[in-house]
Amino acid sequence: MSSGSLASSQSWLFARIWGGFLLVLVMATYPLWFPPLDPQSSLSVPLITGISSISGGWALVPSITLLFGLVIAVSTRESARMKIGWIVVAASLLLSFLLDQHRLQPWAYQSFFYALIFSSMSASAGHKWIMPLAASVYLYSAAGKFDFQFQHTVGQDLMAALAGFLGGLPDGFNAENAARLALLLPAVEFVAGVGLCLRRTRRLSVIVLIMMHGSLLILLGPLGLNHSRGVLLWNVMLIVQAYFIFWIPPDNEKRPAASDSEENKHLKGVEDQTFLSGIFARSVKCLIVLACLSPLTERKGYWDHWTSWSLYSPHTSRAEIELHRSVAGNLNPQLVEFLENDEDGDGWQRLSLESWSLASRFVPIYPQARYQLAIANQLCLTGDLDEQIRVKLKGVSDRWTGRRSEDRLIGKQQIAQACRNFWLYTGKNPR
C-alpha cells in the first residue's frame, strides 16, 4: 500500500474510532438523550421557540436516529454508506440541540461539525478541515483561562490536585504564588495550540497535548477531582485525535496512485460527484469557518460559553436559584435532595443545578445564564411557584478584576421579564 493510501485509510479509521467513542459517550450519558417525562424533574430546555411543542415520544426520535447513524458510520468501511451514517448523525445532533440546549456539551458540539466533515468530504480534505477546528479548541480554551476567576478558583484547584499527586506544595507557598502558578496551565495549552498550527512544531505539540490530557485523566479521575465520565472519555478522544489528525502529516494524505483506482475513485471526493454534493461540502466549510471565528464574540454575549470552548473557566454567566423552605413539601422529591443547607437561617435554600445535572443527566450543567434562568422559569410553571423562588442572575466576569454584574429576581413575574431579554428560548411565560 502506498503512503498516500495508508494515510487515507488511517483518516477514515479516525472517523470510525471517533464514531465509536461518540457512541459510547451517548450511551454513558443516556439520561441526557432519553430524559424523564416528568416536567418538574427535567432539565430539558429547547433552543428555539418553534420546536418547544415537540414532546413525548416524538422528542426521542433524534436520539434514536443518532444511535442508528453511529452504528452505520462505525460498522462499515464502504465510503458512501459511511457518509450516509454521518449525515444521519449530523442531522440527529442538530435536532437534538434544538430540542434541548443542555445537549450542547462540548464533545457533542464538536462531533456535530466532525459529522458534517465526515459526510461531505474525502478523507484527505476532511483531515485538513478538522485541523483548524481542533486547534481552535485549545486556543480558545486557553484564552478563556487567562482570567482572574480561573486564576483564583479552578486553576488553583487543579494545581492543588496536581501538587497532591506530587507530594504537596512547598512550605511558605502563599496564595499569590498559587495564583501565578495557575496561569502555567493555560500557557502550556495555548503554546501547544499554536504549535498545532505550525508544521515544524506540530509533533512536539502532540506530545505536549497527550501529556496534558493524560494528566487531566489523572486529576479529574476517581483518584482526583472525580469529574463526570463524559469529561474523562472526551479527554481520551482528544488523545486519539492528536495522533490521527496532527501526528500523521496532512502532506502524506495525497490522492492514491492509479494502481488503487477502484476504491480510490470513490474516495476521491464524493463531494465533487454532483452539483448538490459540491454545494454541501462548500456549505460545511463555511460553517467550519464560522465555528472557528464565532468564539471571538463570547465575552460580549453573542456566542455561548461552551460553544466557544470556555472549558474549566469560571468566568461564565450563570443563574443561582434559591427556593424558600416553605415549598419543599410541594416539590418533586428528587429536587429536594439538591437543596443546599440554609446556612444563614433566612429560610432560603440554594438549588444546586450542578449536582442535579450530574445526578440526573450524568453531565455538567450547561454554563449559560439563559439556560439556567429558563430552568427557574420552568420551575415556576411546573411547581406553581411565585414569591417562593428567587434568582441571582450573574453576568460574565471581568477578565482582569473578576467582578460581574448581578441582578436579583424575586417571583415568577420578574423571572419571566428577565427571560424576555434573551434572543433564544427561555421557557413559556407564566400566566
pLDDT at position 248 is 86
Buried b (16+ CB within 10 A) or exposed e, 24-49: bbbeebeebbebeeeeebbbbbbbee
pLDDT at position 228 is 86
Tally of CB atoms within 10 A around 382 = 15
Region 297-326: mean pLDDT is 95
Per-residue pLDDT reduced to its tens digit, 228-238: 889 999 999 99
14 within 8 A of 244, measured Cβ to Cβ: yes
Phi/psi of residue 409, nearest 5 degrees: -115, 130
Phi/psi of residue 200, nearest 5 degrees: -70, -30
Q: Report the share of the chain in percent with pLDDT over 70.
A: 87
pLDDT of 364 strictly over 70? yes
Region 220-245: mean pLDDT is 91
